[in-house]
Structure 1
């Protein structure tokens, strides 16, 4: 049986590189946003990084276990039934894959006792699925890179 994503990505020797590559992905996705909403995302992202340097990799690291748990069924199906690359595979299941990933942030927001966080998340959530769908090919590439290393 093939090794699980959890075994491959959360290994202490590999985890830091996974977090680093995921941060680069997030940075690239934010940089590629355009229009009014893209400007808002870019401004907010820059402000968060300025106020609390290191927050992005810290957040990725904190949520990585849960994200990997959500991606595991997709990886299993991909490695047993699909050809091509994992990013393309996720892109053929945009609604399902994005909802699976957003359950992680939804649960975090629900557990937060900070009204400001839940309020901001509530405002951003409707657009979040679109942003996650746009990032699926890049996310799949990062995951596959580390899972196959």
Structure 2
């Protein structure tokens, strides 16, 4: 049986595992980046992690409810249409899904008092959509794995 997305990803018994899996997804996406833009992403990610060792998992945990809220309509549509995988479903709607997810981070970054994080985010925001679109296959697989567990 497939659980409701909020329950599957945000439930007390699942949250720590989901946060760890999302951090693994981010680490893998960053590691896969190539070229000059890849160096910028890797440098920015390393800089954010230097601000504090818990900043990435804390950020994931703080942003996850917003991301799940944005993904839920896509998940519900995917389940009702019976596609082959959620990864393929998200990838087919890449620009739209990326814009929805980035809306969550844009809103959150506006409210932070951490100037170092704001600076890094601001410098990387222009390429963020491309990076989010590239991460959708892994994200879809992660969501589907947890929602089907």
TM-score by length of 2: 0.91
| CA distance in structure 2 between the partners assigned to 1:73 and 1:3 by the alignment | 14
Unaligned runs of 5+ in 2: none
Written as runs of structure 1 = structure 2, the 5 A alignment for 1:69-148 is 69-148=69-148
Unaligned runs of 5+ in 1: none
Written as runs of structure 1 = structure 2, the 5 A alignment for 1:12-51 is 12-51=12-51
Deviation at 1:40, TM superposition (A): 1.6
| CA distance in structure 2 between the partners assigned to 1:114 and 1:52 by the alignment | 11
Root-mean-square deviation (CA, aligned residues, Å) is: 1.6
Between the two proteins, the alignment pairs up a number of residues equal to 148
Deviation at 1:37, TM superposition (A): 1.2
Deviation at 1:116, TM superposition (A): 4.8
| CA distance in structure 2 between the partners assigned to 1:109 and 1:50 by the alignment | 18
Query: Which whole-Å deviations, capped at 9, do the CAs of 1:106-145 have from their partners, x for residues lacking one?
Result: 1112223455544443332110000000000000000110
Report 1 or 2 for greater relative contact order, CA contacts < 8 Å, sequence distance ≥ 6. 2
| CA distance in structure 2 between the partners assigned to 1:21 and 1:114 by the alignment | 25
| CA distance in structure 1 between the partners assigned to 2:115 and 2:49 by the alignment | 21
TM-score by length of 1: 0.91
| CA distance in structure 1 between the partners assigned to 2:10 and 2:76 by the alignment | 16
| CA distance in structure 2 between the partners assigned to 1:138 and 1:16 by the alignment | 18
